[in-house]
């Protein structure tokens, strides 16, 4: 029979602690009133337990900490991740809340804006429109996985140098979409880039500098691979 | 936004999937790429209690030469379609229109079977498949049946697929690499068509399909007949809105949709090469 995943499992102690922390933080983020209330409670030294949280916060908390229904595992930025989640957990929610990788943003939450774009097995997807369970066993890359230690990815350098952002909210998704696109089309024209990024919205820059960034990244990635190629050729010639 | 709770079942074979459908009946919904279903679930317009994930049935992800047609597995993604050379050579219009669906991210996940089975008349590919007289292969516990595109779409988001059946293959008659044009009108690049019109030459005849001009994808029969009788593109396109039942929404009134159908059809006929 099919692998069915409806048996609830008790969340681990570590997980319960993390979820409690998440709920606390969610209240901070969701409502100014809650922030004040929480701060006041903290000043008094009491646990901010009984704050009426916003609907969003309560729904989210319920999703992340209760009714864990299935275990999923995936490689995220080269690191193995495994968590108990409800089947309805969206990939973006999983990445942000279970993996605590908050570089991926939720923008429109309706598959329009692309702020939540990540790579799944090398292809760009909108992680707000994919269940985490669908990525079970996949190789996922988020914006946190772009840089190689202190060395920025070419797309990051290009966005920095070409002023490819203003407020920065769309940037993670924009860069991930661009990386996925450049892997499919390493020699794009201006128009190719605009079409390639049609799934990503930016409300600040007017796209000009974003397109310039992606074109610059394409050039520097080509240069990089040419250098790598000539190094390989050199080493072949010298027999090293 | 978070969908209502559901039980998740991952199918590892077509038979397994059909078994799950038989077991859960119309409580279950098949998840392919999820590009239409997941947004509906997030808005809670769709609230299936069981979600059967067909996403890993790689047996249904193929594009093959079937002799007089190209056979496309239902789980073939739009990205596969828009980059496939066989499809480009034998059914160029399908490859070209697949590249117009949504955006890159959507095309990486969305499947032709999902698009067809969802039965949304605003989707790009169903109107093309209707214009080409494609056949749809549907499998159920009791066996397989083949339904012509003309008989397949029955109403808003409704097709002839029964709750315990799975669309497995789309068979597209060969129409060649060229001789088509798809005109899609929308406000943002990634949006659904407010109206779309596809013109494609098949043998000696010209077929015209309409997107979002009624509850189902439609053929502009009036235009096709006028062309067969030798009318010019401009004159024939005047009949594009005949017999349609366009709806009104935030993007367009029914009257404006009729206007768009005529204009886009004329452009498609003129641009058809």
Is the Cβ–Cβ distance between B103 and B190 less than 8 Å? yes
What does the alpha-carbon distance between residue B63 and residue B71 come to, in Å, rounded to a whole number?
6
Q: Decide if B55 touches A, using CB distance below 8 A.
A: yes
Q: Nearest-CA neighbor of B178 among B79, B80, B91?
A: B91
Whether chain A has a CB inside 8 Å of the CB on B97: the answer is: no
Cβ–Cβ contact A112 with B under 8 A: yes
Mean pLDDT throughout B202-221? Answer: 97
Q: What does the alpha-carbon distance between residue B156 and residue B212 come to, in Å, rounded to a whole number?
A: 10
- Beta strands B195-202 and B135-140: pairing type? unpaired
Distance separating alpha carbons of residues B167 and B114, to the nearest angstrom: 9
Q: Are A106 and A116 in contact (CB under 8 A)?
A: yes
Chain B within 8 Å of A125 (Cβ-Cβ)?
A: yes
Q: Give the residue carrying structure tokens 């009134």.
A: B253
- The pLDDT of residue B1 is 87
Cβ-defined contact of A4 to B9 (cutoff 8 Å): yes
Residues of chain A with CATH 1.10.150.120: 154-229
Q: Hey, what CATH topology would domain B180-271 get?
A: Enolase-like; domain 1 (3.30.390)
Q: Do B2 and A63 touch (CB under 8 A)?
A: yes
Residue A119, pLDDT > 50, answer yes
In angstroms, the CA B218 to CA B154 distance is: 11
Residue B204 has pLDDT above 80, yes or no: yes
pLDDT at A235: 53
Residues 6+ apart with CB under 8 A from B153: B119, B121, B126, B130, B159, B216, B217
Chosen CATH of B7-53 out of 3.30.43.10, 3.30.565.10, 3.40.640.10, 3.40.50.2300: 3.30.43.10
CB neighbours of B150 closer than 8 A, spacing ≥ 6?
A: B130, B133, B219
Q: Which of A226, A196, A201 is nearest to A214 (CA)?
A: A196
Q: Which CATH number fits domain A154-229: 3.40.630.10, 3.40.50.300, 2.60.40.420, 1.10.150.120?
A: 1.10.150.120
B273 touches chain A (CB under 8 A): no
Between B172 and B26, where is the model more confident?
A: B172
In angstroms, the CA A90 to CA A77 distance is: 18
- What is the percentage of chain B residues whose pLDDT exceeds 90? 96
Do B38 and A195 make contact, defined as CB atoms within 8 angstroms? no
If contacts are CB pairs under 8 Å, which of residues 98-117 in chain B contact chain A?
Answer: 102-106, 108-109
d(C-alpha B64, C-alpha A178), whole Å: 31
- C-alpha closest to that of B131 among B96, B166, B106: B96
* Res B205: pLDDT: 95
Yes or no: say if A61 and A22 are a contact pair by the CB < 8 Å rule.
Answer: yes
Say if residue A233's pLDDT is above 60. Answer: no
For chain B, how many residues are written?
A: 273
Residue listed under structure tokens 């490689």: A75
Residues in chain A: 240
Determine the pLDDT at residue B239. 97
Q: Which residues of A touch B34 (CB under 8 A)?
A: 129-131, 134
Q: Judge: B105–A112 Cβ closer than 8 Å, yes or no.
A: no
Rounded to whole angstroms, the Cα distance separating B4 from B34 reads 15
pLDDT in tens, B60-91: 999 999 999 999 999 999 999 999 999 999 99
More reliable by pLDDT, A52 or B1: B1
Cα separation, B37 vs B31, whole angstroms? 7
Nearest to B199 by CA among B225, B172, B219, B222: B219
ipTM: 0.94
Secondary element (H or E) of residue B262: helix B254-271
Q: Which two tokens stand for residue A155?
A: 């797309």
* Nearest-CB residue to B38 (from A6, A67, A129): A129
pLDDT above 60: residue A42: no
pLDDT at position B119: 95
Distance CA A88, CA B3 (A): 6
Q: How far is B97 from chain A (nearest CA, A)?
A: 14
Cβ contacts below 8 Å, chain A against chain B, sum to 106
B45 inside 8 A of chain A by CB:
no
- Mean pLDDT taken over chain B: 96
List the domain boundaries for chain B. 7-53, 58-173, 180-271
- Dump pLDDT digits (tens) for A124-150: 999 999 999 999 999 999 999 999 999
What ranges make up the beta strands (E) of chain A?
Answer: 70-76, 79-85, 117-120, 123-126, 139-141
Query: What's the mean pLDDT in B35-61?
Result: 96
Kindly report the nearest CA distance between residue A235 and chain B, in angstroms. Answer: 36
Contact A19, A65 (CB under 8 A): yes
pLDDT average, residue stretch B98-123: 97
Q: How confident is the model at residue B101 (pLDDT cuts 50, 70, 90)?
A: very high
Rounded Cα distance, B115 and B123, in Å: 7
Residue with tokens 């890159």: B104
Report helix, strand or coil for A117: strand
Task: Give the separation between CA B257 and CA B246, rounded to whole angstroms.
Answer: 7
How far is B163 from B30, CA to CA, in rounded Å? 9
Integer angstrom CA distances of residue A237 from A57, A178, A224, A230, A231: 62, 35, 20, 10, 10
Contacts of A130 in chain B (CB under 8 A): 34, 38, 109
Q: With an 8 Å Cβ cutoff, is B190 touching chain A?
A: yes
Which pLDDT score, from 0 to 100, does residue B187 have? 87
Q: Identify the bridge partners of residue B140 per DSSP, sorted by sequence position.
A: B143
Q: Could you tell me if B174 and B205 are in contact, meaning their C-beta atoms sit under 8 angstroms apart?
A: no
Residue A232 confidence (pLDDT): 55
Q: What is the largest CA-CA distance in chain B?
A: 57
Instruction: Tell me which of A48-62, A185-199, B141-155 is least confident.
Output: A48-62
Asked if residues A200 and A113 have their Cβ atoms less than 8 Å apart, the reply is: yes
More confident residue, A5 or A106: A106
Task: Give the separation between CA A100 and CA A109, rounded to whole angstroms.
Answer: 18
Task: Determine the angle formed by the axes of helices A171-184 and A208-237, rounding to 10 degrees.
Answer: 50
- Nearest C-alpha neighbor of B33 from the set B98, B99, B109: B109
Flag whether pLDDT at A238 surpasses 70: no
Q: Is the pLDDT score of A65 beyond 70?
A: no
Q: Which positions in chain A touch B186 (Cβ < 8 Å)? A: none
CATH code of the region B58-173: 3.30.465.10
Q: Let me know if B120 is exposed, middle or buried by CB neighbors in 10 A (0-12, 13-18, 19+).
A: buried
Q: Which tokens belong to B70?
A: 């190209």
Q: Identify the helix (H) or strand (E) that includes residue B54.
A: none
């Amino acid at each position: 029979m099919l692998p069915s995943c409806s048996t609830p499992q008790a969340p681990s102690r570590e997980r319960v602690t993390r979820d409690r922390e998440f709920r606390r933080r969610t209240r901070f983020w969701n409502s100014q009133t809650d922030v004040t209330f929480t701060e006041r409670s903290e000043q008094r030294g009491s646990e901010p337990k009984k704050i009426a949280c916003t609907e969003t916060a309560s729904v989210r908390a319920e999703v992340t900490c209760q009714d864990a229904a299935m275990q999923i595992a995936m490689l995220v930025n080269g690191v193995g991740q495994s968590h108990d989640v409800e089947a309805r957990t969206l990939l973006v929610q999983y990445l942000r809340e279970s993996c605590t990788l908050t570089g991926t943003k939720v923008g429109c939450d309706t598959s329009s804006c692309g702020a939540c774009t990540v790579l799944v097995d090398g292809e760009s997807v909108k992680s707000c429109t994919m269940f985490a369970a669908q990525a079970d066993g996949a190789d996922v890359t988020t914006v946190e996985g772009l840089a190689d230690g202190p060395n920025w990815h070419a797309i990051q350098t290009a966005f920095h140098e070409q002023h490819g952002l203003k407020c920065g909210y769309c940037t993670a998704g924009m860069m991930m979409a661009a990386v996925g696109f450049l892997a499919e089309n390493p020699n794009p024209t201006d128009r190719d880039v605009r079409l390639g990024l049609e799934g990503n919205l930016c409300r600040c820059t007017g796209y000009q500098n974003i397109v310039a960034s992606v074109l610059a990244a394409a050039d520097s990635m080509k240069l990089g691979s040419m250098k790598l190629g000539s190094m390989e050729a050199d080493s072949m010639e010298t027999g090293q | 936004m978070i969908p209502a709770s559901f039980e998740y079942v991952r199918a590892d074979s077509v038979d397994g999937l059909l078994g799950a459908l038989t077991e859960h009946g119309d409580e279950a919904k098949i998840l392919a790429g999820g590009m239409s279903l997941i947004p509906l679930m997030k808005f809670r317009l769709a609230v299936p209690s069981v979600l059967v994930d067909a996403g890993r049935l790689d047996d249904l992800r193929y594009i093959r030469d079937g002799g007089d047609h190209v056979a496309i597995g239902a789980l073939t993604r739009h990205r596969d379609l828009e980059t496939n050379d066989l499809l480009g050579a034998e059914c160029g219009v399908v490859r070209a229109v697949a590249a117009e669906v949504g955006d890159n991210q959507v095309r990486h996940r969305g499947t032709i079977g999902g698009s067809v089975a969802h039965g949304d008349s605003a989707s790009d590919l169903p109107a093309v498949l209707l214009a080409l007289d494609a056949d749809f292969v549907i499998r159920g516990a009791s066996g397989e049946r083949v339904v012509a595109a003309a008989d397949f779409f029955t109403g808003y988001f409704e097709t002839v697929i029964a709750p315990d059946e799975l669309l497995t293959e789309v068979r597209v008659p060969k129409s060649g690499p060229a001789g088509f044009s798809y005109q899609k009108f929308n406000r943002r690049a990634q949006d659904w068509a407010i109206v779309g019109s596809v013109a494609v030459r098949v043998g000696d005849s010209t077929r015209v399909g309409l997107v979002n001009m009624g509850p189902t994808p439609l053929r502009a029969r009036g235009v096709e007949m006028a062309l067969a009788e030798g009318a010019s593109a401009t004159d024939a396109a005047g009949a594009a809105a005949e017999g349609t039942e366009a709806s009104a929404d935030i993007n367009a009134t029914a009257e404006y949709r009729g206007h768009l159908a005529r204009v886009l059809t004329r452009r498609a006929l003129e641009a058809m090469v």
